[in-house]
Chains A and B, each alone.
Chain A
């Protein structure tokens, strides 16, 4: 399953009136976070609870592995707090542009 594509080439044009396309993303949000969730795949039992509780929907299962779309992770920490196996740790990081 592919993640939402970013329209990097967005020209800045406006449509006629407020008729816009669905799921049209022109910027990423990784600059929002101070810490980043890291999943320890040795402890993780692939229950996918983290996938359910993430408000952003950036956690997903692919090839029996739990992955995170860091482009849109805001580092809220819900996944780390809710993981029943304590397999997710939040690691400090600076703003993406620094």
Chain B
């Protein structure tokens, strides 16, 4: 079998899931995730993937169904987007509090109203507190590699936290790219068999998903928080192991491109990183000292990594596809807190909402505006790109 294929982001998810061999799949179709579930159904039909493919009547039921399956000790998969993600929001908390090691793909898409099928990151960013590990991928190769690593991460007994893999709707889910697929042997070497200690078992019955008293609840929540903190080291270790086996490493929770001597840095989330890297290269050839930091995980949040990567820059622009009405973008507020003691100028750029195109010119303008701070220009903290505010 040819290990190099030309696929879309959605198809890369399906290929990654196939290699992870879940036994139960339940998902409700929603644009732009539909290709994922369709490809998986085809794989099950062709017996390329041996799994129970469940038809469910809503996203809320999809997540509940895979939760039920998972606690029998069975690997599962589900996927959704925007409206569906919010419909299952209650169950997100249920899965994380219940410490159920699920993997879910989310196609980042704008949330109604107004209705929009196009991409932005408001859906997942509005659910940062749901207790899920949240990863954001840049391209189809990282997509496939991330799905496989997500299972190893979620199922790690010191983590036992569900993982959400986010892809920008349409710009990543539906664009095509040549990627390398690891072999079954490579995945087998990397991803251990799923073993759930507390699983429901006829010979060792359990009572799961119970109620806690006022004195106990905070202890459960601390435990959950601690697991998320412990996952930081495990994310880095899994990245290292994966690189050893496949040759592809991604640098952990956050990575920098040409940041070592940058004066201005744009911080990105997701597929826009690619474009910003191109602009960084173009501006560098003109002698401008610019760089880009890519956040790969929003939870756990890469506080230390950001301080380290931005240490030599004094002008930081946070570019994101969401806004928390009445304040700033959520990525910005998280970054601002991480860098609060570092004495930098932090500017928030909101762009790409509802599928708005972000061009190379837009990125250039952002870098120009950041550089202009040195000449005393008063740049507002919050900027909606492409509209007069």
Residues in A lying within 8 Å of B, measured CB to CB: 14-24
Given A14-B223, A15-B198, do A20 and B216 touch, yes or no (CB 8 Å)?
no
Q: Is the CB of B99 within 8 A of A21?
A: no
Q: Is the CB of A16 within 8 A of B206?
A: no
Give chain A residues whose Cβ lies under 8 Å from the Cβ of B160.
16-17
- Which of A18, A21, A23, A24 lies in contact with B98, CB distance below 8 A? A18
Docked Cα-Cα span, A18 to B71, in Å, equals 11
Docked Cα-Cα span, A23 to B219, in Å, equals 22
Residues in B lying within 8 Å of A, measured CB to CB: 97-100, 160, 197-198, 205-210, 212, 216, 219-220, 223-224
- Which of A14, A16, A17, A20 lies in contact with B207, CB distance below 8 A? A20
Number of A-B residue pairs having CB atoms within 8 Å of each other in the complex? 46
Give chain A residues whose Cβ lies under 8 Å from the Cβ of B99.
16-19
Give chain B residues whose Cβ lies under 8 Å from the Cβ of A16.
99, 160, 197-198, 223
> Nearest residue in A to B99 (C-beta to C-beta)?
A17
Give chain A residues whose Cβ lies under 8 Å from the Cβ of B208.
18-20
Docked Cα-Cα span, A23 to B210, in Å, equals 13
Give chain B residues whose Cβ lies under 8 Å from the Cβ of A20.
206-208, 210
The minimal Cβ–Cβ distance linking A26 to chain B, given in whole angstroms, is 12
Q: Is the CB of B220 within 8 A of A22?
A: no
Given contacts A14-B220, A20-B207, A22-B207, 12 further A-B contacts (CB under 8 A): A16-B160, A16-B197, A16-B198, A17-B223, A17-B224, A19-B197, A19-B208, A20-B206, A21-B207, A22-B206, A23-B205, A24-B207
The minimal Cβ–Cβ distance linking A93 to chain B, given in whole angstroms, is 28
> Nearest residue in A to B158 (C-beta to C-beta)?
A16
Can you offer 29 A-B residue contacts whose CB atoms are under 8 A?
Answer: A14-B212, A14-B220, A15-B198, A16-B99, A16-B198, A16-B223, A17-B98, A17-B100, A17-B220, A17-B223, A18-B99, A18-B208, A18-B209, A18-B210, A18-B220, A19-B99, A19-B198, A19-B206, A19-B208, A20-B206, A20-B207, A20-B208, A20-B210, A21-B205, A21-B206, A22-B206, A22-B207, A23-B205, A24-B207
Q: Is the CB of B205 within 8 A of A17?
A: no
Docked Cα-Cα span, A55 to B100, in Å, equals 33
Docked Cα-Cα span, A24 to B206, in Å, equals 9
The minimal Cβ–Cβ distance linking B264 to chain A, given in whole angstroms, is 44
Docked Cα-Cα span, A14 to B206, in Å, equals 14
Given A20-B206, A22-B205, A22-B207, do A14 and B219 touch, yes or no (CB 8 Å)?
yes
Give chain A residues whose Cβ lies under 8 Å from the Cβ of B210.
18, 20
Give chain A residues whose Cβ lies under 8 Å from the Cβ of B198.
15-17, 19
Docked Cα-Cα span, A19 to B72, in Å, equals 12
Give chain A residues whose Cβ lies under 8 Å from the Cβ of B209.
18
Docked Cα-Cα span, A14 to B98, in Å, equals 13
Give chain A residues whose Cβ lies under 8 Å from the Cβ of B219.
14
Give chain A residues whose Cβ lies under 8 Å from the Cβ of B212.
14, 18
Give chain A residues whose Cβ lies under 8 Å from the Cβ of B98.
17-18
Q: Is the CB of B97 within 8 A of A17?
A: yes
Q: Is the CB of B216 within 8 A of A14?
A: yes
